[in-house]
Structure 1
Amino acid sequence: MADSAQVPELVYLVTGGCGFLGERIVRMLLEREPRLRELRVFDLHLSSWLEELKTDDSYVCFPAHTQGTGHVQVTAIQGDVTQAHEVVAAVAGSHVVIHTAGLVDVFGKASPKTIHQVNVQGTQNVIDACVQTGTQFLVYTSSMEVVGPNVKSHPFYRGNEETPYEAVHRHPYPCSKALAEQLVLEANGRKVNGGLPLVTCALRPTGIYGEGHQIMRDFYHQGLRFGGRLFRAIPASVEHGRVYVGNVAWMHVLVARELEQRAALMGGQVYFCYDKSPYKSYEDFNMEFLGPCGLRLIGTHPLLPYWLLVLLAALNALLQWLLRPLVLYTPMLNPYTLAVANTTFTVSTNKAQRHFGYKPLFSWEESRARTIHWVRAIEGSA
């Protein structure tokens, strides 16, 4: 983007800025984007950590990175991406939108209609708001699940953005993310108010982990309920790529920073988001953090045969459907989560490094240490 070393001038908007990833993007921008004049945090539910920054009713001043001068105005905006007028009001006057707001639900807590409204219609509202207000740069947080694992359990081994793979989905969440990503990529080049082209790109993180990860918290509490034990359900030979939340946030910051100068190269592109975290099964990877906190993974082979897990997953799906009018039943095991957990899906890509110089900001050792420290803090609070 244009050189503004003397006076910070850019206005960024982060939708979903109070979420697990959104918060890290917000903090990363405050730490490492010296050209910020204003950072808008848009979310349906504003988090308490924003209150810590407040100095008056509308905004806060946060010291810019040492490379910059002055202060950054941080504006908290409570709003809903499914409400087009609220999105337009938040986007107006911004230079860059990082659209990370979305409903991540693979357990059936929300209806398919709600997932579609938030992830697809919400994304369309963001695109339309950029066009209406003349905002030229849009970075979208997509997901590896746009690609897979597919419902046929085909492995994806060290693949990249060009690796052929049959993306076949039935679950509402990956279907919604695939549709939303398509909307974002097709919007690249569309004329915004003022006549300039909209420049878009999408990032596809693999399974994100790190401080504040709710599923990691759930596994930890589950292990405590079983006397410090977790029981193996997935073969250790099944590998997944996982990525630390701080490195995902860093890639978003880099893309937003480079999108104007490299619009011809990056516009309309997708990038897998991965770091140097080791390839392991979900359970063995989680034990990298839960093991040092006192939990044990029991068994070298799955406790139950796969056919029985398939039967239990189908039974859970049936019970969820039958009970939905009466009670919300959201088991962690369902046909989709079983297929994902039992299918190798690992990415190895240097496209992000080639296109905009991405290198992980946090090493595996630091990512692991930070996550262990957070799990131990959960233990202390319990």
Structure 2
Amino acid sequence: MPSEGQVYVVTGGCGFLGSHLVRMLVERSRNVAEIRVFDLHLDETLRTLSNDQVKVTLIQGDISSLEDVRAVLTGGHVVIHSASLVDVWGRVPASKITKVNVTGTENVLRVCEEEGIQYLVYTSSMEVVGPNIHGDPFFRANEDTEYNIYHKEPYPLSKSTAEKMVLEANGKKIKGGRILYTCSLRPTGIYGEGHELMRQFYQQGLRTGRRLFRAIPPSTEHGRVYVGNVAWMHLLAAQHLQERPSLLGGQVYYCYDHSPYKSYEDFNMEFLSACGFRMIGSRPLVPYFLLYLLALLNSLLQWLLYPFCTYAPILNPYTLAVASTTFTVQTDKAERHFGYTPLFSWEESKRNTVGWVKSFEEKEKSR
């Protein structure tokens, strides 16, 4: 059972998921005395979450620095390792992605071993599995479904490598004769308040008169999951990893809720339509082969312009393959193993996200 007065460390705690997770821990965690929020860029508003029961401590540092990681983890009891550099557009060098996602995870595991920290929950990604570059569908699949995995891009490669290290570390003997227990959570596409990509889609839609032009067939389905439910699953996993380490240790879990299966475009319209946006076309307006040629052209321009500037449009061969390939999960593994059920219904998740998107309207009007 979890001991009283625990110290939780949340790496990447000021990011999109991390900030929701910190708030969730403050509101709903048990036996937690301190939450250390570790990030390269601090969100000072999180400091105000401290209350009489839980202290929130913000610590600035670099996950790729062993010294910084050791400083924040020493004295901790549970680590939720959510720090990650997400880039599928070529905005940052592959070496930097590897340094953050792989070296950073190596640092966390090393300090857990040296300091005797027994419990580690890792935030992975659906992209450690797919969609693959061949467009093979992953339809209503679960954690045990066989799938042809092909990793080529730096981000999925780094997440796959990091998750493998985390899972292989489960059961390892660490300082004080203890055992390290680890598990990994794989969110599908996360949405909700603070999602930067949704903000970009909103801004892009303004430039086209609040019209979005269909590019992907509506029959292409993706699993999406609300950020609040992803945070809730992390909290439950961290608690039950301590209570049932032999069951959860070494396991992977997809994050899921009751959000509908839709294409990325149609799912985003669930929120953007509330701001007067409309989708043009019931079918793709541009043939797939032309989209693919445009994606290839973007990649060529990115390569040619690299010495002079960063050219990183949303569309490239990888993002086109992801958007065009069905990837949905249907599983109850997290419910069976640690009692997870979504904390937020689809209606609540949609209402919260729509409210956030509508806040853009107020900012536009105040300019």
TM range (shorter): over 0.9
1:22 to 18, 21, 26: 18
Task: Give the Cα separation in 2 of the matches to 1:189 and 1:229.
Answer: 53
Aligned to 2:149: 167
1:11 to 4, 7, 13: 7
Would you say 1:128 and 2:110 are equivalent positions? yes
Point out where structure 2 has 5 or more consecutive residues left out of the alignment.
none
1:274 to 236, 243, 256: 256
1:35 to 31, 34, 43: 31
Residue 34 of structure 1, CA deviation: 3.0
Query: What's the CA shift string for 1:284-337, capped at 9, x where partnerless?
Result: 000000011110110011111000111110110111111111111110000000
Query: What's the CA shift string for 1:52-92, capped at 9, x where partnerless?
Result: 45xxxxxxxx23xxxxxx42121111000100111011111
Task: Give the Cα separation in 2 of the matches to 1:249 and 1:340.
Answer: 24
Would you say 1:75 and 2:49 are equivalent positions? no
Task: Give the Cα separation in 2 of the matches to 1:117 and 1:108.
Answer: 15
- The AA in structure 1 aligned to 2:268 is N
- Residues 104 and 91 (structure 1), Cα distance of their counterparts in 2 relative to 1, 3 Å cut: same
1:44 to 40, 46, 51: 40
Aligned to 1:338: 320
- The AA in structure 1 aligned to 2:285 is L
Q: List, as ranges, runs of 4+ consecutive aligned residues in structure 1 with deviation greater than 2 Å.
A: 50-53
Q: Any idea what SS the aligned residue of 1:377 has?
A: helix
Point out where structure 1 has 5 or more consecutive residues left out of the alignment.
54-61, 64-69
Residue 49 of structure 1, CA deviation: 1.3
Would you say 1:192 and 2:167 are equivalent positions? no
Question: Counterparts in 2 of 1:212-361, with a 5 A limit?
Answer: 212-361=194-343
- C-alpha RMSD over aligned residues: 0.9
Aligned to 1:92: 74
Q: Any idea what SS the aligned residue of 1:117 has?
A: helix
Q: Any idea what SS the aligned residue of 2:177 has?
A: coil
1:377 to 356, 359, 363: 359
- The AA in structure 2 aligned to 1:366 is E
Query: What's the CA shift string for 1:86-134, capped at 9, x where partnerless?
Result: 1011111100000000001111111111101100111111000100111
Residue 50 of structure 1, CA deviation: 2.8
Task: Give the Cα separation in 1 of the matches to 2:67 and 2:121.
Answer: 20
Query: What's the CA shift string for 1:120-178, capped at 9, x where partnerless?
Result: 11111100010011100000000011000001110000000000101112111111100
Higher normalized helix content (fraction of residues): 2
Q: Any idea what SS the aligned residue of 1:12 has?
A: strand
1:210 to 181, 189, 192: 192
Task: Give the Cα separation in 2 of the matches to 1:246 and 1:308.
Answer: 38
Q: Give yes or no for contact 2:47–2:57 (8 Å, CA) kept in 1.
A: no
Task: Give the Cα separation in 1 of the matches to 2:48 and 2:341.
Answer: 31
Query: What's the CA shift string for 1:319-377, capped at 9, x where partnerless?
Result: 11111111111100000000000000000010000000000000000000000000000
Task: Give the Cα separation in 2 of the matches to 1:144 and 1:363.
Answer: 22
Task: Give the Cα separation in 1 of the matches to 2:270 and 2:223.
Answer: 14
Task: Give the Cα separation in 2 of the matches to 1:294 and 1:52.
Answer: 35
TM-score, scaled to structure 1: 0.94
- Residues 151 and 256 (structure 1), Cα distance of their counterparts in 2 relative to 1, 3 Å cut: same
Q: Any idea what SS the aligned residue of 1:260 has?
A: helix
Q: Any idea what SS the aligned residue of 1:75 has?
A: strand
Residue 378 of structure 1, CA deviation: 1.1
Task: Give the Cα separation in 2 of the matches to 1:27 and 1:106.
Answer: 28
TM-score, scaled to structure 2: 0.98
Q: Give yes or no for contact 2:47–2:58 (8 Å, CA) kept in 1.
A: no
Q: Any idea what SS the aligned residue of 2:64 has?
A: coil
Q: Give yes or no for contact 2:139–2:326 (8 Å, CA) kept in 1.
A: yes
Task: Give the Cα separation in 2 of the matches to 1:77 and 1:279.
Answer: 38
Q: Any idea what SS the aligned residue of 2:34 has?
A: strand
- The AA in structure 2 aligned to 1:139 is V
Residue 261 of structure 1, CA deviation: 1.4
Aligned to 1:58: none
Residue 51 of structure 1, CA deviation: 4.8
Task: Give the Cα separation in 2 of the matches to 1:123 and 1:206.
Answer: 20
Task: Give the Cα separation in 2 of the matches to 1:125 and 1:198.
Answer: 15
Identity %: 63
